Amino acid sequence: MSRYFGTDGVRGRAGEGKLSDERLAELGAALAKFVGAGGSVAIGRDTRLSGPNIFGILADQLQRGGVDVHDLGVLPTPGTALLTSKLGAQLGAMITASHNPWHDNGVKLFGPDGRKLPDAAQDRIESLIGQVTEAADTPGTRHTVNDAASTYADHVVAAVGEGALSGLTVVADAANGAARIVLPEVLERLGATVPAIGTGDDGRHINDGVGSNNPETLAKLVVEIGAEVGVAVDGDADRIVLVDRQGVIADGDQIMARLATQMQSQDMLKGGAVVATVMSNLGLERHVEALGLSFERTKVGDRHVAKRMAELGANLGGEASGHIMLTDHATTGDGTLSAALILAGMKASGHNSVDYLRAFVPVPQMLVNVRYAGTSPLENADVTDAIAAEQAALKGQGRILVRASGTEPLIRIMVEGDDAELVSDVADKLKAAVSAAAEAG
């Protein structure tokens, strides 16, 4: 297991472990060595209380190593990726813990093209951590990029077109996070009327009862005020879920299904494929294949999706959790862009949100998390035996996926199949087996 990097950069409790001041300083020094004196790094962050401190530590070490720092301020992750490329920086860093609670934080890294760093680059950075470093002869400078948010907003609006959402009432939920200003602004510039929630910035309420992981408040409000649709992003705004006018939630799978249909009808889909992960619903796979397209699955993590998309020349992919990759317009998952494009398609089609956002009937699926301390329960033989037994019980009519989270001490269990009762029974048995192993240590 990597000392620092998980499935999406560094993540943990702010001030502790990998995110203690000492270890962040080591990471900052390693990044300075990786970039080299005379280079530059663009750094954005979400609204977490710990963000400014982490920024300060990383920036100090980078400058000490002769690296210039572009301070992007509070900005969505896709905005940081975009500005990294536009500013000609050798590296981009986003200080965020995405959908995690406020007390967590982390660092996501991007290359000069705005794409997530490949494994080889992360390995190189890790090899530099802890090495003795000396200050550069000429320290790097620090520059505040005052127009970072407006540059990102302009990019999204240009990709969709002014007035594309004219006449729609869209409730925006910015998760009290990085898109607290830019998400409502973009939707309004596109012509929508935008009641907004989740626009706080006190640093302690990011993702707290709001955002894409907690869309119930949004769903209730959409129905109460008679809005056509609701949009919720997560803390760093690289994920999205939508809510139709009846309060029904459309996850990343439904969004990908509709975008696949929409883009294919406009002859805009490339690569003959849609790329998703092992977590995506079997119903999405069937929908995509019914369109005459190939359905490709990868390991969990949008960086794996992006890599496979590049190999296939595909321009649509994502995760059920709401990371949507639209590589004609963005180098990473982009909640604001995804919302704008799919709502523009809905508006142009003349359909209401209920008809448009329910693109396929999901196969019954259960997701269960089991928290553990110490040794991973997946190393327990009883768990391995239980997985094999329950897969046999599905008789080829479903899927089981049991994996460790890359960002938290959780075992994630997914079971799906056409028989809802059987799916529930299998999930319960696997949860019991994993929980017993976790308690045993």
Residues annotated as catalytic are 98
Q: Quick check: 28 and 77 in contact, CB under 8 A?
A: no
CA 362 centroid distance within chain:
22
Edge-to-edge strand ranges of the sheet holding 229-233: 196-197, 170-173, 229-233, 240-244, 249-250
Q: Which two tokens stand for residue 130?
A: 């802890």
Q: How far apart are CA 266 and CA 354, in angstroms?
A: 21
Q: How far apart are CA 211 and CA 188, in angstroms?
A: 19
Burial 1-38 (b: 16+ CB within 10 A, else e): eeebbbbbbbbbbbeeebbeeebbebbbbbbbbbbebe
Q: Which residues are CB-neighbours of 107 under 8 A, at least 6 positions away?
A: 9, 10, 27, 54, 58, 93, 94, 95
Pick from 66, 62, 58, 137: nearest CA to 94:
58
Q: Which two tokens stand for residue 246?
A: 């009846």
6 phi and psi angles, rounded to 5 deg:
-100, -145
Pick from 268, 286, 271: nearest CA to 341:
268
